[in-house]
């Protein structure tokens, strides 16, 4: 157990060792090599890079160089990412084989390895991370430590003001002060609905109960979203500290973090963080020598989207089927194990320490009038800079997609952006200048959601994407209430018909009728929002639905049942690339003479179209 003084000593000592990471004018002779150890870069073998670096350091007995496995830097498209500090050199897509050269040239001779530098979308080669357009409009509040510290080392977290907010709260603020500060900040829930966080804390604080809990929703069920995972992987102590502060504010002594089992790295790092915090006495009894006691436990999900819904989550934490319960009673009064429970999302919590340290006013100065602070987005799909982006609320979609995201690859046109996942909607080009905030996104038929942002180019069919999401909800509906269980299935059948070229007059009206009823009568948010992907695409792309029904035609050519793929005999040079890439061996021919496609075998996936160097293949 450490006292406040001991923690301060650790802070000072560690800061003197790692401050060069933030100090570009550092003149000493130490270097820190930061290698991304998030899921994305780990999947492209950043761990091998790290082992190799450590092996070289040991073998050559190099002093003053440290390798640090950090959380996500954000620019996942360029992974694995290596940053060398203090000079801040940014190497992209490096591999194990490149490590020796990095050491030979850069580390030992101060020479930059030009070929590993990153080319920005505008064609310029950049040397430093902050020169990238990707970072220019971002503001890192939630992600401030991601890519900066070793998430498995509590001392590094402490060095950059870690556990200072908890100390401040326990030594100089009453629980009411804390609640009021959070209320004044204007922070709203980042899990999707945008409920004012301070108000939720107040309700839970006022609720009567012999035992109270705080809980964190780290289920992150939106497929294509990875904001919360990145916080857990890159800065797990931020969550531990924030939950302790929340527990103090509402009067809880025990916390649960519900994480999806599909995030093994995140779970491991969070568990480590909890263990280290316990070891330092930052969890447990008598924290910082006060009366306050708090402990934290991880509970794993097992792949059920509905468990992100708050009441279903609680059922699941208790070890049951994750079926939602009717509300009221709300969790603030009757939550986990029937006791008053505060539930917030990971990103919501990740704002708390900074609100406490910098004040509600500082937080309120970021963002828009009704949506304060920043929002993290996981940007994916047909976009150049796939990755993790944190921007002030009020930033426009255009800025995120084009300035930060680098636009659409392959010279294609932007068609729509999808936010809010299976509960959200598709936003067309005409609304690209919408500022990102809770109200504006709702007003155009989508929603903030938890932060998934999928960009689609003009090859994507909007009826098909609506069907993709309905497939998802049909699969994930828990089955407890009939409107959701049966209604989404009926909607999906209609969409199935449409995308197979068997749409009927009246199908659009049926979809609208079903959507209205499902939204009105479902038990939980899953059903209440399930029709949104259909409604929003109907709103902006109704002509596509009509073409599917009236002309049996898919304007974007994605719905395979309505198209044929053919090779233009005059353009084909017989190179066989298409045949090699065809997943179903539907293409055949003699080398150097025109190839042809067997329409019975062809699944119209379009791989050949993309592969043909002579643009001889097209979809009609």
Partner 1 sequence: MSENNEKCQCQCGCGGKDEREEKLVQIIKDCNYDKSQLMHILNETQNIFGYIPMRAQKIISEELGIPMAEIYGVITFYSRFSLEPKGKYNIAVCLGTACYVKGSQGILDKLKEILGIDVGGITPDGKFSLEATRCIGACGLAPVMTINEEVYGKLDPSMIKDILEKYQ
Ligand X SMILES: Cc1cc2nc3c(=O)[nH]c(=O)nc-3n(C[C@H](O)[C@H](O)[C@H](O)COP(=O)(O)O)c2cc1C
Q: Which residues bind ligand X (CB under 6 A)?
A: 189-193, 195, 217, 219-221, 306, 308-310, 343-345, 348, 450, 524-526
Stretch that binds partner 1, among 4-12, 76-84, 164-172, 425-433 (CB under 8 A): 76-84
- In a 3-state reduction of DSSP, which class is residue 539? helix
Site string (108-147) toward partner 1, x via CB under 8 A: ----------------------------------------
- CB distance 504 to 549 below 8 Å: yes
7 binds, among partner 1, ligand X, none (CB under 5 to 8 A by kind): none
300 binds partner 1 (CB under 8 A): yes
Q: Which does 32 bind (CB under 5 to 8 A by kind): partner 1, ligand X, none?
A: none
Nearer of residues 502 and 581 to partner 1, judged by Cβ: 581
Q: Which residue has the tokens 């075998």?
A: 601
Q: Which does 193 bind (CB under 5 to 8 A by kind): ligand X, partner 1, none?
A: ligand X
In angstroms, rounded to a whole number, what is the distance separating the alpha carbons of residues 123 and 395? Answer: 25
Radius of gyration in angstroms for the set of CA atoms belonging to the chain, rounded to a whole number:
26
Q: Which does 316 bind (CB under 5 to 8 A by kind): partner 1, ligand X, none?
A: partner 1
CA atoms within 13 A on the CB side of 509: 3
468 binds partner 1 (CB under 8 A): yes
Using CB distances below 5 to 8 A depending on partner kind, what does residue 580 bind out of ligand X, partner 1, none? partner 1
Residues 65 and 33 sit within 8 Å (Cβ to Cβ): yes
CB of 311 to ligand X, least distance (A): 8
Do 508 and 538 touch, CB atoms closer than 8 A? yes
Q: Which of 226, 248, 294, 377 is close enough to bind partner 1 by CB under 8 A?
A: 226
Q: Applying CB under 8 A, does 362 fall inside the site for partner 1?
A: no
To ligand X, the closest distance from the beta carbon of 365 in angstroms equals 21
Considering only CA atoms, which of 58, 52, 134, 63 is closest in space to residue 92?
A: 134
CA 36, CA 49: separation in Å to the nearest integer?
Answer: 10
Question: Cα 388 vs. chain centroid, distance in angstroms?
Answer: 7
Provide the 3-class DSSP secondary structure of residue 244. helix
Looking at 13, 119, 321, 520, which residue binds partner 1 (CB under 8 A)?
Answer: 321
SS in 3 state form for 198-262? HHHHHHHHHCCCCCCEEEEEECCCCCCCCHHHHHHHHCHHHHHHHHHHHHHHHCCCEEEEEECCC
Residue 567 within binding range of partner 1, rule CB under 8 A: no
Distance CA(205)–CA(249), nearest Å, equals 7
Q: Are 477 and 488 in contact (CB under 8 A)?
A: yes
**Out of 97, 125, 224, 285, the residue judged to bind partner 1 by CB under 8 A:** 224
The residues facing 374 across adjacent strands are 392
Region near partner 1 per CB under 8 A, out of 26-34, 118-126, 348-356, 574-582:
574-582
Q: Does 607 bind partner 1 (CB under 8 A)?
A: yes
**Cβ nearer to ligand X, comparing 352 with 612:** 352
Q: Say how far residue 53 (Cα) sits from the centre of its chain.
A: 29
387 vs 394, beta carbon nearer partner 1: 387
Helix, strand, or coil here: 472?
A: helix
Residue 394 interacting entry, from partner 1, ligand X, none, C-beta within 5 to 8 Å by type: none
Q: Counting contacts by CB under 8 A, is residue 316 touching partner 1? A: yes
Is residue 315 helix, strand or coil?
helix
CB of 190 to ligand X, least distance (A): 5
Q: Burial of 63 by CB count in 10 Å (0-12 exposed, 13-18 middle, 19+ buried)? A: exposed
Of 113, 129, 182, 378, the one binding partner 1 (CB under 8 A) is: 378
Nearer to partner 1, 18 or 617 (CB): 617
605 makes contact, choosing from ligand X, partner 1, none, with CB < 5 to 8 Å by partner type, with partner 1
3-state secondary structure of 294: strand
- Which residue is it, tokens 């994480």? 259
Please choose which of ligand X, partner 1, none residue 357 contacts, taking the beta carbon within 5 to 8 angstroms, the exact cut-off set by kind.
none
Contact of residue 344 among ligand X, partner 1, none (CB under 5-8 Å per partner type): ligand X
Size of interface with partner 1, in residues (CB under 8 A): 62
Residue 404 interacts with which of ligand X, partner 1, none, CB < 5 to 8 Å by class: none
Query: Which residue's CB is nearer to ligand X, number 522 or number 556?
Result: 522
| 309 interface partner picked from partner 1, ligand X, none, CB below 5 to 8 A per type | ligand X
Q: How far apart are CA 57 and CA 103, in angstroms?
A: 9
Beta strands in 142-285 (DSSP E): 213-218, 254-259
User: Binding to partner 1 by residue 221, rule CB under 8 A?
Assistant: yes
Q: Could you give the string, one character per residue 189-218, with x where binding to partner 1 holds by CB under 8 A and - elsewhere? A: ------------------------------
Query: Shortest distance, CB of residue 458 to partner 1, whole angstroms?
Result: 12
How far is C-alpha 236 from the geometric centre of its chain's CA atoms? 15
The DSSP result for 403-467, as a single string, is: IIT---GGGPPEEEEEESGGGSEEEEGGGTT-B-SHHHHHHTT---TTSEEEEEETT--HHHHHH
Q: Taking CB under 8 A as the rule, does residue 222 contact partner 1?
A: yes
Of ligand X, partner 1, none, which one does residue 190 interact with (CB within 5 to 8 Å by kind)? ligand X
Angle at 124 between CA 122 and CA 126, to 5 degrees: 125
Q: Give 205 or 229: the residue with its C-beta nearer to partner 1.
A: 229
- Give, as one character, the DSSP assignment of residue 45: T
Give just the sign of the alpha carbon dihedral 66, 67, 71, 74: positive
Which window, 97-105, 118-126, 268-276, 601-609, contacts partner 1 (CB under 8 A)? Answer: 601-609
Instruction: Report the interface residues with partner 1, using CB under 8 A.
Output: 39-40, 42-44, 76-77, 79, 221-226, 229, 261-263, 299-305, 316-323, 337, 378, 380-382, 386-387, 418, 421, 452, 454-456, 460, 465, 468-469, 478, 580-585, 603, 605-607, 611
């Amino acid at each position: 157990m450490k006292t406040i003084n001991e923690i301060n000593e650790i802070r000072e000592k560690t800061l003197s060792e790692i401050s060069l990471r933030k100090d570009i004018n550092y003149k000493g002779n130490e270097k820190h090599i930061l290698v991304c150890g998030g899921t994305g870069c780990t999947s492209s073998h950043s761990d091998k890079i790290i082992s190799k670096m450590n092996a070289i350091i040991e073998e050559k007995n190099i002093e003053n160089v440290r390798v640090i496995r950090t959380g996500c830097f954000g620019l996942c498209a360029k992974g694995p990412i290596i940053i060398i500090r203090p000079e801040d050199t940014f190497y992209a897509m490096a591999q194990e084989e490149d490590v020796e050269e990095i050491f030979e040239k850069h580390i030992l001779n101060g020479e930059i390895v030009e070929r590993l530098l990153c080319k920005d979308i505008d064609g310029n080669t950049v040397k430093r991370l902050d020169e990238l357009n990707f970072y220019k409009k971002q503001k890192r509040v939630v992600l401030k430590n991601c890519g900066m510290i070793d998430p498995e080392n509590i001392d590094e977290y402490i060095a950059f003001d870690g556990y200072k907010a908890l100390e401040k709260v326990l030594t100089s603020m009453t629980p009411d002060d804390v609640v009021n500060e959070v209320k004044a900040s204007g922070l709203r829930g980042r899990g999707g609905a945008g409920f004012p966080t301070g108000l939720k804390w107040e309700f839970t604080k006022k609720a009567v109960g012999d035992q109270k809990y705080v809980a964190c929703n780290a289920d992150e069920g939106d497929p294509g979203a990875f904001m919360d995972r990145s916080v857990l992987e890159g800065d797990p102590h931020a969550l531990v500290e924030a939950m302790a502060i929340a527990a103090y504010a509402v009067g809880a002594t025990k916390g649960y973090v519900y994480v999806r089992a599909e995030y093994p790295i995140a779970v491991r790092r969070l568990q480590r963080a909890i263990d280290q915090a316990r070891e330092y006495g930052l969890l447990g009894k008598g924290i910082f020598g006060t009366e306050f006691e708090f402990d934290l436990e991880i509970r794993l999900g097992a792949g059920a989207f509905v468990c992100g819904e708050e009441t279903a989550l609680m059922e699941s934490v208790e070890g049951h089927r994750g079926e939602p319960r009717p509300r009221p009673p709300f969790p603030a009064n009757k939550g986990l194990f029937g006791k008053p429970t505060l539930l917030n999302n990971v990103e919501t919590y990740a704002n708390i320490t900074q609100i406490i340290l910098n004040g509600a006013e500082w937080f309120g100065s970021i963002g828009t009038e009704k949506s304060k602070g920043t929002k993290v987005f996981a940007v994916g799909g047909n976009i150049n800079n796939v990755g993790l982006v944190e921007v002030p609320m009020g930033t426009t979609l255009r800025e995120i997609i084009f300035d930060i995201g680098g636009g659409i690859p392959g010279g294609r046109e932007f068609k729509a952006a999808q936010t809010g996942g299976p509960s959200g909607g598709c936003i067309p080009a005409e609304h690209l200048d919408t500022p990102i905030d809770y109200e504006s996104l709702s007003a155009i038929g989508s929603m903030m959601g938890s932060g998934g942002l999928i960009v689609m180019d003009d090859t994507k069919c909007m009826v098909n994407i609506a069907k993709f999401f309905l497939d998802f909800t049909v699969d994930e509906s828990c089955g407890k209430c009939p409107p959701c269980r049966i209604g989404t299935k009926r909607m999906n059948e209609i969409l199935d018909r449409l995308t197979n070229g068997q749409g009927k007059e009246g199908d659009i009206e049926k979809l609208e009728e079903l959507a209205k009823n499902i939204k009105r009568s479902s038990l939980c948010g899953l059903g209440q929002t399930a029709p949104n992907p259909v409604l929003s695409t109907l709103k902006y792309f109704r002509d596509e639905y009509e073409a599917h029904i009236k002309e049996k035609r898919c304007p974007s050519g994605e719905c395979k049942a309505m198209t044929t793929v053919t090779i233009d005999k005059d353009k084909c040079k017989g190179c066989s690339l298409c045949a090699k890439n065809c997943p179903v061996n539907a293409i055949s021919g003699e080398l150097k003479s025109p190839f042809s496609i067997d329409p019975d075998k062809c699944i119209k996936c379009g791989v050949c179209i993309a592969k043909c160097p002579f643009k001889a293949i097209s979809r009609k």
